[in-house]
Structure 1
């Protein structure tokens, strides 16, 4: 029975990695669609989000089943409970990717944001893609150094997010109302994507070290 239980725990980890890989693909495609006004790619991201949702639900069912049958304790219990919470964050990251893609579709054939903000969003998108790829590595390895890198990358996303607000609220901003709304929403989606990755990184750090990272750390 113990061998079966350990196999189930490995399956939980493998499924988390699978979902994280799909999320990384989603944000990469979404940011490309956003930056290049590629409506076909945007549609692909929107369509594929259902797969992320299905896998997250399936993983949750497996984790709940393990809790009911195996009644894990100590680290094993933390692994299963953390998997439920990580799954929820990954699902939300998929949603953020979908939202970014939806903005691209709504504004096609135009680009979503004015020319003055495009370099900022290109940088923000590249950071989100890098964070997503690192998250896959983290879930495979539980390497706390990767978790720290994700948190540092998130600080850069936060700084870019604030710079977007400074721009659209500044005296020199001459964008239309729709430009202001789109830029604000897009920036928020990128920022929230990275925030969910940090939340996952903290949970993995806790599993690896037993030390909980405070929310404001």
Structure 2
């Protein structure tokens, strides 16, 4: 067996497959927003390529962040004030560049859900994280988007001031030129036949 030729073929196959490798996920933990302030502030825009409309950040002393000490809130509303129990669906997270949204971690009392938008169209709605059934808030819980397509806006719906968000996770889209399994099999088959033919000619 010609191991040199086999190695060459495998190298070529690896090079061909590189553009089709899935992109790795990125997670925004918001820890770099920590400037030592004791209260909350508006998330700067843009932040890491996103606009967090209606979101505030700060050290979380009420709920538990999924990582570090900083997470995001939808408002300053006091979760113990019954008059503040307002469901809001205008807390948008937008990007000029389409992305694949994986999900985010939440803590608090209120259940939340995602609406996923692209080019002004609602393309998917996630499952809902249920309301806390106890006197204590639930701890960090990751809510997956359940959608693998491209989006340019994520809207979080929940009760204003009754939850916090952390570890916003997303990834860039993979190449649009990903071959179908049948096409990939033909490429590999062709490489194998080419290798055998070259060996026979020798």
TM-score for both structures, normalised by structure 1: 0.22
Q: Indicate the structure with greater helix content.
A: 1
Q: Indicate the structure with greater strand content.
A: 2
Larger Rg over CA atoms: 2
TM-score for both structures, normalised by structure 2: 0.23
